[in-house]
């Protein structure tokens, strides 16, 4: 009799509060997962910390994914104040291939709040909008129609420079009139270096000023640093979180070898590269790519003169463990070789391998 009474009372409580004990338990598990993920404050992307242990934040991510409904995950991803919770909830929704996933990602493209991701024992950073979009593609969960919508969104919406896909689009953007003003706005209003490179491909005389102004402020300490993802043209190598607008100006010259840029390229070489022996591998590759774009005796002379200057530099030891070559001479040579290999040109065939010899740097 007592059992029936308690069962009846549980039934009445369920009617009164509108929630079953089982649902209440799930709610508690979801809250526990959310609170714990927020406490750890990063996404564990794999079920290992790289040392054979299962990270606790991974367990809580799985807990959230198992117990939260699509609607609950959508709400968390849209409304929760913590970027890491928005990212985890959105990721779980995408992995389920929920109907709510694609609309969610489109709505969160502008979310540029940063958070940490643990890839085993490596910690990296990303923003919510970019992370969820890349997860959408990684899960092969986007239709051709949505891909076309995305292209329009990335090109014609403002302030999406934090999205890696936009940088990739700008690299392959057709030289068509309908894109010219869009690209110009991206550069002028958002200071997007990728847009500067794309703008250079239109070869408009009025735009030389933008390349020139960024070549003039080559010194690192004087540059305005901007956040964006950028992969080197014609290269599938590393992405750079922070990139200098003057690096993009060098790549713009590689797209548009205008006569007006020659004097500043020489100045960069004489006043910046040589005296301090810069060995930023990416910058040096961009510099040599810009020179090779001219495909002229002037470009060959500049390249060979640069190597002679570096070879004689007092900071360049005449011999070390690099087969008797000066360390900086070899590095500069390897950077030229890499630039050549990314965009081979028979005009410079005889210079390839002349200074870099063998790659000892592992890149």
Can you read off the two tokens belonging to residue 233? 């043209």
State yes or no: pLDDT of 100 exceeds 50.
yes
Instruction: Give Cβ neighbours of residue 333 (< 8 Å, ≥ 6 apart).
Output: 307, 354, 355, 356, 357
pLDDT reading at 29 higher than 70: yes
CA-to-CA distance for 273 and 309, rounded, in angstroms? 10
Q: Quick one: average pLDDT of 273-293?
A: 81
Q: Which of the given ranges, 92-96, 236-240, 278-282, has the highest pLDDT on average? A: 92-96
Q: What is the pLDDT of residues 106-132, one digit of tens each?
A: 999 999 999 999 888 888 999 999 999
**Lowest model confidence (mean pLDDT) among 71-80, 147-156, 222-231, 274-283:** 222-231
b/e per residue, 173-183, with b = 16+ CB within 10 A? beeeeebbeeb
pLDDT at 281: 79
Over the stretch 303-362, which tens digit does the pLDDT of each residue have? Answer: 999 988 888 776 666 655 444 456 777 888 889 999 999 999 999 999 998 887 654 444
Q: How far apart are CA 191 and CA 328, in angstroms?
A: 33
pLDDT score of 41: 87
List CB contacts of 290: < 8 A, sequence separation 6 or more: 250, 251, 253, 254, 257, 261, 265
Query: Encoding tokens for residue 125?
Result: 């950073």
- Condensed to tens digits (0 to 9), the pLDDT of residues 166-176 reads 999 998 899 99
Instruction: Tell me the mean pLDDT in the region 78-98.
Output: 95
- Provide the pLDDT for residue 36: 87
Residue among 83, 82, 169 nearest 125 (CA)? 83
Tell the burial category of 193 from Cβ atoms under 10 Å away from its Cβ (0-12, 13-18, 19+).
buried
Q: What is the domain partition of the chain in residue ranges?
A: 16-137, 146-351
Q: Is the pLDDT of residue 17 over 60?
A: no
For 287-315, what is each residue's pLDDT tens digit?
999 999 999 999 999 999 998 888 877 66
pTM of the model: 0.78
Confidence of residue 89 (pLDDT cuts 50, 70, 90): very high
Question: Using the 8-state DSSP alphabet, how is residue 230 labeled?
Answer: E
Residues 6+ apart with CB under 8 A from 212: 260, 261, 264
Q: What is the pLDDT of residue 228?
A: 30
Tokens 């080197």 label which residue?
A: 232
Residues facing 231 on adjacent strands: 239
Q: What was the pLDDT predicted at 32?
A: 86
**pLDDT mean across residues, the chain:** 82
Query: For 276, phi and psi rounded to 5 degrees?
Result: -100, 0
The per-residue pLDDT for 245 is 84
Residue with tokens 């290992």: 48
Determine how β-strand 225-231 pairs with β-strand 239-244.
Answer: antiparallel
CA 223 centroid distance within chain: 19
- Reported as a pLDDT band with limits 50, 70 and 90, residue 230 is very low
Q: Which of 171, 163, 190, 179 has its CA nearest to residue 245?
A: 190
Residues 137-154 have a mean pLDDT of 92
| Residue 282: per-residue pLDDT | 84
């Amino acid at each position: 009799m007592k059992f029936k009474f308690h069962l009846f009372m549980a039934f009445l409580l369920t009617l009164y509060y509108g929630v079953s004990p089982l649902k209440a338990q799930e709610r508690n598990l979801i809250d526990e997962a959310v609170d714990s993920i927020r406490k750890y404050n990063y996404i564990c992307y794999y079920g290992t910390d790289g040392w054979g242990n299962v990270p606790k934040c991974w367990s809580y991510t799985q807990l959230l994914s198992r117990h939260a409904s699509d609607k609950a995950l959508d709400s968390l991803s849209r409304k929760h104040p913590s970027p890491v919770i928005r990212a985890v909830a959105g990721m779980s929704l995408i992995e389920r291939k929920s109907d709510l996933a694609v609309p969610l990602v489109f709505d969160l493209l502008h979310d540029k709040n940063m958070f940490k991701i643990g890839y085993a024992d490596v910690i990296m950073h990303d923003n919510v909008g970019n992370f969820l979009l890349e997860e959408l593609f990684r899960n092969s969960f986007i239709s051709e129609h949505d891909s076309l919508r995305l292209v329009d969104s990335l090109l014609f919406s403002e302030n999406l420079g934090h999205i890696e896909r936009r940088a990739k689009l700008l690299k392959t953007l057709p030289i068509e009139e309908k894109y010219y003003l869009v690209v110009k706005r991206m550069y002028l209003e958002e200071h997007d270096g990728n847009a500067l490179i794309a703008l250079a491909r239109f070869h408009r005389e009025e735009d030389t000023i933008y390349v020139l102004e960024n070549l003039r402020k080559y010194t690192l300490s004087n540059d305005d640093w901007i956040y964006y993802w950028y992969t080197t043209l014609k290269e599938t190598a590393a992405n750079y979180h922070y990139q200098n607008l003057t690096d993009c100006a060098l790549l713009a010259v590689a797209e548009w070898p205008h006569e007006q840029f020659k004097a500043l390229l020489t100045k960069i070489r004489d006043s910046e590269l040589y005296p301090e022996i810069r060995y930023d591998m990416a910058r040096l590759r961009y510099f040599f790519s810009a020179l090779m774009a001219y495909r002229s005796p002037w470009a060959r002379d500049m390249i060979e003169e640069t190597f002679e200057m570096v070879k004689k530099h007092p900071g360049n030891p005449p011999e070390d463990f690099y087969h008797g070559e000066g360390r900086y001479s070899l590095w500069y040579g390897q950077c030229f070789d890499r630039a050549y290999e990314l965009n081979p040109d028979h005009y410079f065939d005889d210079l390839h391998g002349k200074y870099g010899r063998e790659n000892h740097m592992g890149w």
